[in-house]
Amino acid sequence: MKQQEPTPPGGLGPKPRVPEKPGTPGKGFKLGSPLGYVLLLALGLLLFSRLFENVGVYRVGYSQFREAVENGQFTKVQISPEWVKGELKDSAPPPPQQGQDRELRGDLKALPWMAYRVAGDDTLVELLEEKEIPYEAVRQSGFSEVLWIWLIPLALMVFFWSFFMRRMAGGIGQGPQGVMSFGKTRAKVQAEADTGVGFKDVAGVDEAVEELREIVEFLKTPEKFRRLGGRIPKGVLLLGPPGTGKTLLARAVAGEAGVPFFSLSGSEFVEMFVGVGAARVRDLFAQAAAKAPCIVFIDELDAIGKSRNAGIAGGHDEREQTLNQLLAEMDGFDNRAGLIILAATNRPEILDSALLRPGRFDRQVLVDRPDKRGRERVLEIHSRNVKLGPDVDLKAIAARTPGFAGADLANVVNEAALLAARRNRDAVMRADFEEAIERVVAGLEKKNRRMNEREKEIVAHHEAGHAVVGWMLPHTERVTKVSIIPRGLAALGYTMSLPLEDRYLMSLEELRDKMAGMMGGRAAEELFIGEISTGAANDLKQATEVARLMVRDYGMSSLGPVALGAEPGSVFLRSAGLPESRSYSEQTARMVDEEVRKLVTEALERARHVLRTHKDKAQALAARLLATEVLEEEAMLVLLGPKVVPDRGLIHPEARQVVSAHPAEEQEGGPPTQHSQSTPDA
């Protein structure tokens, strides 16, 4: 009885065995290889030379040859070690062969004829000189000459021709890479054991992991969901800022599910030739269906999934054909086969609506930046192979890195390890991590950039103004470090402020204090230096941006609670260099500009007031900076005193639960209106 193959854990039947390719090269000589072609060509050349070496030559006996020489019938004679060849004059008929009549060979009158030389005949040359017949010595071409003159050049031609044709047909052992394989997919196929990543390697995005665990259960035990009438989602779209781990999550899903994993980027579909992208999409889904159950991961989906209503500026026929083919393939395959499409993008707002509808990408999973606890877990994962010193507290490092994504935290750990190795330490210490954070936030320290004493004094008072205003206002973030050492491309100094906790909302007072802290450097230059400089350019830009958001988006101005912002752009990225679109009049635009100017001016005046009130502390801090160049939070606590922190307790502690007196189901006028609260960009 034939033994039945075991069913894999996915419950989708036995995995198909991939047959061996018949053309797989093995050991030994292959007739179809380039070497085989060269040897066949060499054999053909030898046979050709042997068969046609005497074409046009009339063979006679040596005695007849000497007789012709004596009669002066030759115009030229060639002598070699093996043969003697003479060219007849036009008026001299060739002697006949045995059994042939002279008249029957008259058509060979102009042809040369030859005879084999008799060994030891040294009188032929004397006879030729006597008859005044020109003669020349000819050396027989040996095998080495034939090899260098004919075989090696031809072998090189055959080799390069074969190499070029194989490259055109699809590369040499490296998958489709040639012009003959444009329609083949360039997806990298990895077996489940090759990913080497699981959910244990992902941290800080617990909600996204839970959503994707269900996808793994779909692949492993589909009957658990099918018995209740459910179906496996066809596609899952991962949304999030760059560096948050979307690709890592996709690889973790493949590793946990134990299925083949197709990985490619959206830009690999489109080439310069028309129709290539659609052909590659078809080939990708054909290969994926043959290896099902499997996962297909398309990174940077926005490269081919842009909206087809983008207008003249965004239209591209080849990209639209590729997108149409992708839509057709995703809507056409049977999800019972266990084929899951994962995709990642950080620009969801430009994707085509047909791509996002249920039935194609059924789920959209947000992969956001981790919170404080998530950052600590990410640091634990990335520092597993790093020898940490006794003073390293990953919880404190997580608190000092708000807004960092997973890639940023990995970079911090790597930079800290490199700094420790550069300093010949036995372990990575806390100072290395602090320096690494500053490198990521502010840039590389420019020790060779020397400022003159006056510029150094201006920078010291500028940074002291930031620090004092940020320290004295109650709704600002705490200042942890001030430095006048140049960093990055253009920063001559910096003031580092960190929030006490993760925040998702900002009040009007917090925004006003934040703007005043930004204008503290400009105010300090006016009060203590007596003139302003270009050092506040970035501060003015940031304060103006916050004020514009307050007026246009948050309704925090005298214009009232109206939203005057443009159409919502990317949740994660902001377009740069594009003209601003607006839906309000020129008069309203002038009012917006006036309100923005008013808010920035008020922030500058508040900063001046704080610095006038605490003038001695600001000057003492600037003098200390000139002496030490860097001040930590402990030193500022001695100079400035304790920071005033507002009470952030519950507004109404007794109102733990708010229950609506009028449920939405009982309201008249149709379904309830959904309200969403957005996170401020400031």
- Label residue 612 by pLDDT band (50, 70, 90): very high
Q: Is the pLDDT of residue 631 over 60?
A: yes
Q: From CA 119, how far away is CA 81, in angstroms rounded?
A: 9
- pLDDT, residue 75, reads 81
- pLDDT, residue 380, reads 92
Beta-bridge mates of residue 511 = none
- Label residue 580 by pLDDT band (50, 70, 90): low
Average pLDDT over residues 439-466: 83
- Label residue 359 by pLDDT band (50, 70, 90): confident
The domain defined by 61-140 folds into 3.30.720
Q: Is the pLDDT of residue 650 over 80?
A: no
Q: From CA 516, how far away is CA 605, in angstroms rounded?
A: 8
Write down the catalytic residue from 463, 510, 525, 595.
463
Q: Is the pLDDT of residue 573 over 90?
A: no
Is residue 318 annotated as a catalytic residue, yes or no? no
Q: Is the pLDDT of residue 524 over 50?
A: yes
Residue pLDDT, tens place only, 159-190:
777 666 665 554 433 444 454 454 455 555 55
Domain definitions of the chain by residue range: 61-140, 182-366, 372-442, 453-566+584-640
- Label residue 473 by pLDDT band (50, 70, 90): very high
Q: Is the pLDDT of residue 25 over 50?
A: no
Q: Is the pLDDT of residue 591 over 70?
A: yes
To which CATH superfamily is domain 453-566+584-640 assigned? Peptidase M41 (1.20.58.760)
The share of the chain scoring above pLDDT 90, in percent, equals 21
CA 401, 402, 404, 410: dihedral to nearest 10 degrees? Answer: 30
- pLDDT, residue 117, reads 57
Choice among 139-153, 396-410, 434-448, 458-472 with the minimum mean pLDDT: 139-153
Give this prediction's pTM.
0.66
Hey, do 182-366 and 372-442 end up sharing a CATH topology, with the first three levels equal?
no
Q: Is the pLDDT of residue 607 over 60?
A: yes
320-326: long-range contacts at Cβ-Cβ below 8 A with a sequence spacing of 24 or more? 321/274, 321/275, 321/277, 321/278, 322/269, 322/270, 322/277, 322/278, 322/280, 322/281, 323/352, 323/355, 324/278, 325/277, 325/278, 325/281, 325/282, 326/281, 326/355
182-366 in CATH: which number?
Answer: 3.40.50.300
Q: From CA 598, how far away is CA 587, in angstroms rounded?
A: 17
Q: Which residue has the higher pLDDT, 257 or 549?
A: 549
- pLDDT, residue 12, reads 41
Choice among 44-53, 238-247, 261-270 with the minimum mean pLDDT: 44-53
Q: From CA 246, how far away is CA 344, in angstroms rounded?
A: 6
Please give the full DSSP string across 449-476, using - where no structure is assigned. -PPPHHHHHHHHHHHHHHHHHHHHSTTS
Q: Which residue has the higher pLDDT, 241 or 60?
A: 241
The share of the chain scoring above pLDDT 70, in percent, equals 67
Decide the pairing of beta strands 135-137 and 74-79: parallel
372-442 in CATH: which number?
Answer: 1.10.8.60
Decide the pairing of beta strands 188-190 and 261-265: antiparallel
Report the sign of the C-alpha dihedral through residues 343, 348, 353, 357, in that order.
Answer: positive
Range with the largest mean pLDDT of 136-145, 192-201, 300-309: 300-309
Q: From CA 150, how far away is CA 146, in angstroms rounded?
A: 6
Number of alpha carbons in the 13 Å side-chain half-sphere of residue 386: 28
- Mean pLDDT, the chain, whole residue set: 76
